[in-house]
Amino acid sequence: MQLKNIKTYLLAMLFAAAGWTGCNIDEVPDPNNPSLAPILEDATVNELQALVFGVEQIARDEVGFYYDVTSIIGRDYWFFTSSDPRYTGELLGKDNAMLDNAGFYGTRPYSGRYRNVKQCNILIEAVTNSSADISDAERNGYYGFANTMKAYELLLVLNLQYQNGIRTDVADADNLGPFRSYDESLRDIADLLAEAYGQLGNAGDAFKFNLSGGFAGFDTPETFAQFTAAVQARVAIYQNSPTEALNHLDNSFLDLAGDLGTGPFRFYSTAGGEELNPVFRTPDQSEALVAHPDFVASLDPADARNAKIAERPSGALTFDGLTGTHDVVLWNSQSTPIPYITNEELVLIYAEANIGSDNTEAISALDVVRTGNGLASYGGADDDDAVTDEMLAQRRLSLFAQGHRWVDMRRYDRLDELTLDRPNDDVWIQLPRPVTENE
Amino acid sequence: MKKKKLDKVLLLAGAFLLWSSMAMAQFKVSGTVTDDGGDPLIGVTVLAKGTAVGTFTDFNGKYTINLPGESAELEFTYVGYATYTAMVDRSTVTMDVVMDDAATQLDEVVVTGLATSVKRTNLANSVASISSAELSGTVVPTTTDAALYGKAKGTNISANSGAPGGGIRMNLRGITSINGSSQPLFIVDGVFIDNSSVAAGLNIVSQAAGGGSQSNQDNPSNRLADLDPNDIENIEILKGASAAAIYGSRASGGVVIITTKRGRAGQTKVDVSQSIGFTTILNPLGVRDWTEERVANSSRFAGDVDLYNEAVASGTLQNYEELLYGNTGLLSNTRLSISGGSDKTQFYLGASFKDEEGIVENTGYEKTNIRLNLDHEIADWLTIAASTNYINSSADRGFFNNDNSGTTMGVAYSATPAWAQLLPDEDGNYPANPYAASNFLETAARITNNESIDRFLGGATATASLYTTDYTSVQLILRGGLDHYVLNTTAIFPNSVQFQRDGNGLNGVSVQGNTLNTNTNLSAFLVWSQYLNSGVSFRTQVGVTNETFDRNTILAEASDLIGSQTNVDQAGNRNTNQTRLIQEDKGFFVQEEVNLNDKLVLTAGIRGDKSSNNGDPNQLYFYPKASAAINIHEFDVLPEALSQLKLRAAYGESGNFATFGSKYTSFAPFIVGGNSALAINNVRGNENVGPERQSELEFGVDLGFSNNRFLFDATYYIKSVDDLLLNADVPTSTGFIRQVTNAAALQNKGIEIGLNANVVQSADFNWFARLSWWKNNATVTRLDVPSFTTGGFADFLGQYRIKEGESPTQIIGVGDPEMADDDGLVVFGDAEPDFQMSWYNSINFSNFSFTFLWHWKNGGENINLSTLLFDLNETTHDYDDIDLDPDGALGNGDYRLSQLGVNTEPYIEDAGYLRLREVGLYYTIPRSAFNDVCSVTVGVSGTNLLNFFDYNSYDPEVSNFGAGGLSSSVEVLPFPSSKRYNFHVRASF
């Protein structure tokens, strides 16, 4: 090429380059993840299936914060860790420590649960908009599943927030519903469960989707509705409506003669891409879930529930002025499932709902739990107070480390009966509303 | 650019051509240019001032130039030499010139534009310039960014930790972003280089992102570390938008322009050098001074009195700080450079090999670096300059920083008392540490945390003189650059270590990461210089640019390892993650410079940019700039002693693209019971996200005295950043936690003062000193969301707070309710230093040269959570001293703990320091001693040899969260910093 030609060529290139800025830059779709918008607009059955498993995923993710916080405040156990002083400081109200409205113990269990509420709302919207070949009955199946799971997650948030109340209508992120009072929130949750129960009743014989092994035995509209009814019963006793509770128990999987451990659960596995049980901690370490000494003391040596804790081979552990001798081994591996609700809890709800109207029936239900755990039958008084005490004692032992003790003592206005371990410790009534929730 | 506009440009161009072809009579001048030793200088630029006429000296230092008109002022410029000017007229036939190599800073040429440079005397901005001698002439710097400490006003450079292989953050004139990056753009010979930090996936073991914090705490190095400082000829730092507007949306953090060494025509020069040295911990803290009484009174160790007494009796009380951090690391740096060339082709070849050990066993850094720079003149109007650089490095960085599993070496060490017995038995078996999740000596011996790099940097610039007459020159400059690297991260935690065996942890973890990064940049510029008879000149530039970024990280995590296998397929559990980052930017710019006889220099320009990262990828964002410099000394009105007086002002705007991914709302994939699941992410996308916008106004004055022997400069700037991208918290009942929004503004104001003095100038004694002083103050001027805290773990542990009217780097905590403000928080400090100062000295006497650099950072606080973790474990070195408790009753440890949750103050500490950054003494044995074959230089040097600070840890320079966002100055048991000693030998042939 002649040099002169090169000059012309170079000039031409420059003009070409100048024109080229005018060219458009292509929109880069998210290269890492599927985007929300196309799924909301028109999801395939496969995508809806992935969303359903997504609900199960979020339900098991971060739930450790819920169980740790409720169990620590409820004096079921302590968490000794040199990595974060708040577990033995703020959560136990050490000295002047106050709960922080930006602290992880309040914000993480809150955001983690609402994330699933969002996922359920996305599932509902995606099912509504989907042009895939899905019958009305099958759509009801999705709705019934989503609404049940949504109500369950809202109930966990409400347990933490208590009298702060919560938002129950959060479908539109730009226009969130108001904070409802505690009673209103409970009512909204009950209504949502009733809606779900109705939808499941009109959902045909089978779901259009599969559920993981965690819902084995609860994976048809009929059997899943038994789970919905079980949650309804839990809400009813929170609402102090024993009659309602008994009605819901009729529809649930309550089986006074059955395996106390029956119930749907969150699935954990050490396989790749799966979640590990977030509450499991290796026993006998310096970082430890240590059973509260008061809980240890309350266990009869014959009680099968002793298996939930284990004496530390290396001896007592002291941290931040607290000393314990037993580790919590309720979750004994990284793949131990965590139940949503068990037959054992339903039996105890049945007992509770009968107190005051049929104490004999209540005691015989409590005996199901007692004998089921290797204890003799109840031999105490049968007046309401005594049976209530026994019911709460059995709930403490049976539902240990699952976030019930604190809620139960609060329901019965007995938080002052929880043991304080250091002179200036406090028992909190509720978690502060997260700082980001401005009305 | 639109076609219509182009037509206009062409028309205008035609008019100029016509005008300039009316050339006048010419005369010819020739001569020889030599240095003061009489050796010819090859390639000296000879330019007739006020014209486009110019030439270079040839192989014998000779030149011939045809000059227009009756007389001319010839300007001779050569890198490293003082510019020489001479008046010539028709009667001059020969003009021989001797050039002086004692170049003062004033004469240098500063590369500020994309395609052009400006003489420092005509510059309207304060541009810091660092020469090769200052950068790497005194000590062997670990990395290029580490070589910049204290050498440029307006910079704030801080190491994240002392781990081998680097990890440094750099801010110019304050922070310019809250959640986005405040890091400058680095350009090496026109190649936009990647400076990211890629995490190695240690979180699976450290669990650091549990608890309150989600960010990466893997402490990776930043990729600027790959560049060899010895290859660098010069670094220029454009500190804000007023200087860097021409770089548009990538310039909000400033621009660091790195020019590497190039060959010169003439005799081939060969340089061989070797340095050998060692490194030790910079500031050992010591360990708690235990007594039987203290053990008995301790809440954690009360049952250990017998163990303690046994250890005392058997003399096995250990100093674990020494055992963990006491390694004397050997340092070896070998270097070879060859340069030379003919008048048509010049080359520079640099090769170096670095092998440095760290202060912790099995840590270290190895790097091989090869650079080849070529310049070739294809035709008298067309030159091409190519730069290539290959880097291969490997850094073993240990396992440090925050964790939630008690396994990092620092955290485990903090939990271990002196009577613990952690040393291995004869067979090398380490006992389990009963006081922590890991035996850190075993961890140091057994685990791997390695980053290795294969990187190629390549760039080429073609400069074509399309049209040249006596008064006109039109140049086309085409440039392309490529930065390509493969980063392999390898983290192996064998199932034989304490925290992976016997059912602990995950029974062995192997995390292997592979990052493929390819950046390209292409640009084309047309530069049109027009000189008028009156001495007025115009320079017009137009250009277009295109940059693409593509990064693909695949992280394979394997746990439950089979036996001692480390391949990721030899494991019970496998998990892979892929993260991609794809971005394309396009831009154009136009700039006009007017120079009135060097008396008044005016510049105005505009840049337009668009990016696929913005909500609308085709929205153009515009960034204008304008500046003026008045050289009053050119008006001949000043007294003799005042040799320079320049007043300058500059204004410019720049931006910072939205971070990648901020516009997407997406799902994340999971497996539930073996089934694929999609779970909504907790970050809400923002379809309207746009760039952060910065505008900077800068004023300054430059003064020179006694023929510029003493130079003084002062600059004041106001740098405002609007539309700041915030990772704004959203009500979490939405199901989301965050959303990136343009929702705040901040302002930096600052002063920079410099004094350069040739204190002593004589035949065999020269002393050059440079004193620099700078400070910056930042304020949040607008905040559309409620004030919020960020950057740490929790308010009671100290965090940054973003609040309107306050400094964005202020550190808050909990404290006395009476001191608390309306957020219920107490302000305890600010990470921003009150001011910084540096003092550089270079003293030459006969064949000795002595150089030292002091660096003083005054004020600025850190959040010291290392001390907190030591305190919680009752092992702090000052646990029993009593100097904090106002009542004088409690020991420091007990006092600090008593304040935990109530008063954050004890953990927020002054992080100011005074440091002897560099000191070096060299002796050159002249060529005559070696039969003129070579000269040999021998010397000793030290880095960070003297340190003065009150800070209660290893080093106030630290960042647990690395370089990203607003999170520096938080310390959680990092890899401690070190000091370095080196011995040097260099032979120059």
Cβ of residue B521 closer than 8 Å to a chain A Cβ: no
Find the mean pLDDT for residues B323-331.
94
Classify residue A319 as left (phi > 0), alpha (psi -120 to 50) or beta: beta
Query: Average pLDDT, whole number, for chain A?
Result: 92
Query: Pick the residue with more confidence: B394 or B59?
Result: B394
Residues in chain A closer than 8 A to B675 (CB atoms): 49, 53, 210, 212
Q: Is there a contact between A25 and B666 if contact means CB atoms under 8 Å apart?
A: no
Q: How close B674 comes to chain A (CA, Å)? A: 8
Average confidence (pLDDT) over B553-558:
90
pLDDT grade for B70, boundaries at 50, 70 and 90? confident
Contact: B901, A13; criterion CB under 8 Å: no
Which residues of chain B have a CB within 8 Å of the CB of A57? 670, 672, 677, 679
Contacts of B212 in chain A (CB under 8 A): 84, 103-104
> Nearest chain A Cα to B869, which residue?
A82
Lowest mean pLDDT, pick from A70-74, A180-184, A221-225, B285-289: B285-289
Least confident of A330-334, B116-120, B451-455, B671-675: B116-120
pLDDT of B828 reads 94
> Is B786 touching A (CB cutoff 8 A)?
yes
Give the Cβ contact number of residue B62 at 10 Å: 14
Among the partner-chain residues B670, B786, B872, the one whose CB lies closest to the CB of A82 is: B872
Six token digits for residue B773: 């002083």
Answer yes or no: is pLDDT of B5 > 60: no
> How many angstroms separate the CA of residue B897 from the nearest CA in chain A?
10
In this complex, is the C-beta atom of B664 within 8 Å of any C-beta atom belonging to chain A?
yes
Handedness of CA B144, B150, B154, B156 (dihedral sign): positive
CA distance B886 to A438: 40
R_g of chain A computed on alpha carbons: 26
Considering only CB atoms, A18 lies closest to which of B6, B559, B795, namely B6
Are B671 and A214 inside 8 Å of each other by CB? no
pLDDT tens, residue by residue, B128-166: 888 888 888 888 887 888 888 888 888 888 888 888 887
Q: Say if B758 is an interface residue toward chain A (CB within 8 Å).
A: no
Question: Of A4-8, A290-294, B431-435, which gets the smallest average pLDDT?
Answer: A4-8
- Give the per-residue pLDDT at A22: 56
Q: Does B91 touch chain A (CB under 8 A)?
A: no
Q: What is the mean pLDDT of the segment spanning B204-212?
A: 67
Cβ–Cβ of B524/A13 closer than 8 Å? yes
B665 contacts on A by Cβ (under 8 Å): 35-37
Flag whether residue B406 sits within 8 Å of chain A, measured between CB atoms: yes
- The class (CATH top level) of B3-103 is mainly beta
- When scoring B732, B867, B896 by the number of chain A Cβ atoms within 10 A, the one with the most, hence best to mutate, is B732
Query: For position B331, what pLDDT does the model report?
Result: 95
Nearest-CB residue to A36 (from B211, B617, B667): B667
CATH of region B129-284+326-399+447-860+911-988, choose from 3.20.20.70, 3.60.21.10, 2.40.170.20, 3.30.1360.200:
2.40.170.20
* Residue B272: predicted pLDDT: 95
Kindly state whether B526 is in contact with chain A, defined as any CB-CB distance less than 8 angstroms.
yes
Domains, chain A: 36-277+336-356 (1.25.40.390)
Residues 6+ apart with CB under 8 A from B524: A13, A14, A17, B476, B477, B478, B479, B543, B544
Read off the tokens for B713. 């400069």
B736 touches chain A (CB under 8 A): yes
The reply to whether B10 touches chain A by the CB within 8 Å rule is no
Q: Percentage of chain B with pLDDT > 90? A: 49
Closest chain A residue to B866 measured between Cα atoms? Answer: A83
Rank A385-389, B190-194, B504-508 by mean pLDDT and report only the highest.
A385-389
Q: Is B2 on the interface with A (CB under 8 A)?
A: yes
Cβ contact, residue pair B661, A30, below 8 Å: yes
The rounded distance, in Å, linking the Cα atoms of A430 and B562 is: 46
Contacts of B673 in chain A (CB under 8 A): 53, 56, 212-214, 267, 269, 274
Does the distance separating the beta carbons of B584 and A26 come in below 8 Å? yes
Residue A150: list chain B partners with CB under 8 A: none
pLDDT at B497 over 70: yes
Cβ contact (<8 Å) for B678 and A85?
A: no
Higher pLDDT, B141 or A159: A159
pLDDT reported for residue B90? 83
- Angstroms from B349 CA to nearest CA on chain A: 30
The CA distances from residue A115 to A69, A109, A151, in Å, are 18, 10, 13
* pLDDT for res B1: 39
pLDDT at A14: 57
Say whether A26 and B612 touch across the interface (CB within 8 A).
yes
Pick the residue from chain A with its C-alpha nearest to B972: A83
Q: What is the predicted pLDDT for the residue at B211? A: 45
Average pLDDT, chain B: 87
* B17 pLDDT higher than 50: no
Nearest to B447 by CA among B501, B486, B484: B501
DSSP string across B531-544: E-TTSEEEEEEEEE
- The pTM assigned to this predicted structure is 0.80
Among the listed ranges A14-23, B120-129, B300-309, B380-389, which one has the minimum average pLDDT value? A14-23
ipTM (interface pTM): 0.90
* Distance from the Cα of residue B955 to its chain's centroid: 19
CB atoms near residue B595 (< 10 Å) = 22
Residues of A with Cβ-Cβ distance to B577 under 8 angstroms = none
Contact B804, B782 (CB under 8 A): yes
B286 in A contact zone (CB under 8 Å): no
**Boundaries of CATH 2.40.170.20 in chain B?**
129-284+326-399+447-860+911-988
**What is the structure's pLDDT at B13?**
45
Distance CA(B77)–CA(B82), nearest Å, equals 7
Helix (H), strand (E) at residue B775: strand B765-783
Which pLDDT does position B531 carry in this prediction? Answer: 85
Report which residue type is found at B568: V
Task: Say whether B669 and A33 touch across the interface (CB within 8 A).
Answer: yes
Contact A84 B212 (CB under 8 A): yes
Asked if the Cβ–Cβ distance from A287 to B406 is below 8 Å, we say yes
Residues of chain A contacting residue B379, judged by C-beta atoms under 8 Å apart: 3
CB of B624 less than 8 A from some CB of A: no
Return the number of CB contacts < 8 Å for A and B.
Answer: 286
Using CB atoms, which residue from A10, A54, A102 is nearest to B678? A54
Cβ contacts of B318 within 8 Å, gap of 6 or more: B311, B418, B419, B420, B421, B422, B423
Q: Which of B588, B677, B795 sits opposite A57 (nearest CB)?
A: B677
Contact between A30 and B504 using a beta-carbon 8 Å cutoff: no
Which residues of chain B form CATH 2.60.40.4130? 3-103
- Which residue in chain A has the smallest CA separation from B569? A272
Q: Mark yes or no for CB contact B680/A7 under 8 Å.
A: no
Closest CA to A325 of A309, A341, A339, A338: A309
> Are A117 and B735 in contact (CB < 8 Å)?
yes
Query: What per-residue confidence (pLDDT) applies to A5?
Result: 62
Q: What's the pLDDT tens digit per position in B684-718?
A: 888 888 888 999 999 999 999 988 889 999 999 99
Q: Which residue has the higher pLDDT, B696 or B208?
A: B696
Question: Structure tokens of B796?
Answer: 């009671």
> Hey, what are B555's tokens?
């992280």
Contact B415 A32 (CB under 8 A): no
DSSP states along B387-412 = EEEEEEEEEE--S-S--SSS-SHHHH
What residues in B contact A56, CB-CB < 8 Å? 672-673, 677
How much of chain A exceeds pLDDT 70, in percent?
Answer: 94
Q: Which residues of A fall within a CB distance of 8 Å from B672?
A: 53-54, 56-57, 60, 212, 267, 274
Say if residue B92's pLDDT is above 90. Answer: no
Contacts of B576 in chain A (CB under 8 A): 272
Using a CB-CB cut-off of 8 Å, the residues of chain B touching A86 are 794, 796, 901
Q: Is the pLDDT of residue B845 over 60?
A: yes
- Please determine, for residue B578, whether its predicted confidence score (pLDDT) is greater than 90: no
pLDDT for residue A358 = 96
The reply to whether residue A274 touches residue B672, judged by beta carbons under 8 angstroms, is yes
